[in-house]
Structure 1
Amino acid sequence: MTPSGIKGHQKSQARSTEEEPEWDNEAKRETNGTDTITKRSASLTEKGIKLVQEGQYTQAVSMFTEAIKCDPKDNRFFGNRSYCYYCLEQYPQALADAERSIQLAPDWPKGYFRKGRALMGLKRYSEAEKAMEQVLKLDKDCEEAVTDLCNCKVLQLMDLGLEEMQSVQLLEKFLTVEAVQASLCEPARAGCQDQSVLLQGSPCASLWVGNVTTELTEKHLWDLFQMYGEIESIRVLHDRFCAFVNFRNAIMAARAMEKLNGCCIENTRLVVRYPDRHAQRFLPSPLKTCLPVTQQVGASAGPRRRGPVNGDECYFWRTTGCHFGDKCRYKHIPDQKGKDRKPWQP
């Protein structure tokens, strides 16, 4: 989530000045009266920063690479280049440069911030969480790190199959990912079969299944989902390209969702999540203090749509990809492909 709003992991659509390289003025101060090599590295840095401001990240990488050749012990050059790699969504390179900057300057908070952002891009959220915590140890006033730390926690829970709103609400109550996970396991350890109890802070026993084509029958779904627990009922809605699978308890449903989301069957890739109405009924108020994603798709956006958008455009074509191909009844506009896709969507 933060970097939320951009492909891959998540850059904010309008980057703030705190995210961008900040070393030009400092470099100028340090190079007054110094040798030619140092002056050249400062000149390269200034050119690189100007290119960054113009959005020319590939060219900026070249400038910072040359600056590193002039002075390979300056941590700021590696931090600069890490930022550019991150903007280019080249996350392994961004991580390598961030780690090098930390080796050169262990007390530099920007290095850990770059590392955290790169790890988020790689979807290694638990490691990114630790990096952002280190940023705040060194710079407690870094608001971006506070936001990213919150987003790292939410993304970890969403990886476990929880909805965004559920994740936010549970973190507001339990504070840490570990505490939330423990709370979700408590009903199972207690052998509780009362769904009303299971729903107090844990997922429900029903699942929504998307991308259900006409070739997929109730039997197909029954055979697939029953491997993860006792099913009470299945309802297939071919006219809406979806189905509802109801398990005996929430633990079974959570296990099925974790294993089957993204599963391919009968030439379609299933999308498995909790029904929207469950999140709306039991988790009515998302946390307001963080998560740009919540701000973008929260109460103002309303329930998620699965039918046509903008009149007759295909929702899936604009988000996760449509598996119906030429058979789809809605429009597939080439330059709109993936335009509405969110960072957490498969």
Structure 2
Amino acid sequence: MQLNIPEPSPSYSTDPKLEARQRAKEGNRLMSTPLEDFSAAAVEFAAAIRLDPTDCRYYGSRAACYYRLGQLDLCASDAKQSVQLSPQYVKGFYILGQAQADLGLHAEAANSFSCVVALDADGCGDALERMRESQLACLEKSLGLDRGLCSRALDLANGDIEAAANRLLAGAGLPEQQEQRKPLSPPVRGSYAKTAASAASTSRPVGVLRPRNSQQPQPSANSSCSIDDEDQSAAPKRANCLLRSPPKPLPGATPDNPNNCRSLWVGSVKADVSEAQLRAAFIRYGPVLSLKMVHRSCYAFVNMATPQAAAAARAGLNGQVLGSHKIVVRYQI
């Protein structure tokens, strides 16, 4: 008697990594023309990631699917994971830059595209143009200046966005920028000048203010200034330099970064660490405005976009192994 045994359905290998490659291959087929079924492809790449979560290409491919589906936050998340797994993964940095630019994160996008240029200068395609576009958008948005001014400052700074921002803030070499600045108000003259002249004619020195009589209440320790009775009606208030309020903390300062510092010194950066690897390590904590490596002396300077990012990078990377050695991260004050 002959039994009709059905043909076994195609199954994937029991080796997780081989099965992950097969699922990724199917995902690539679904992404390609004429199918372009990005939702189904994302499912295949998700299965590949579950089977082998150490391969950066699966995260990069799923990020590309999310980008085509308009899910930019998911795209950026997967792209970040891909470059963390492999700091040399050019495609991951490019997709990350695309998502960040569309999300309006221009400083982060410029940083991601700069990694593409650093890793693949010959085959970076339009990454250089996209990097410059993101830099200009960042300067425009943060400083509120005309794009033409931002472009010229970026050219004079040789593409260094931090140097361009400092140039724009100072107006150095940009005479046309003065038209966008409000003129300073002239100094106020009149009653204050007369008050100062009358004060100079008295026997007591200017700035040392004493109560008119002993019954007048003395200034408390919490006072920031004291005013004579005789001057309260006509003369403007004058601060007593001997009594000052405690200094306020700098905006954005944290207990770990009380000086509001954005510049970091990185030591023990050996020859086996590339600029792209160092940048990729710091970008995990926030946008990197500029980075300079001094290979001969084995150290580097990193300028973060915010004091909070600098504090997070210092806390997260100080003492961590990068390349063959543990790096040292300190504030550059």
Q: Which has the larger radius of gyration?
A: 2
TM-score (norm 1): 0.42
TM-score (norm 2): 0.44
More helix, by proportion: 1
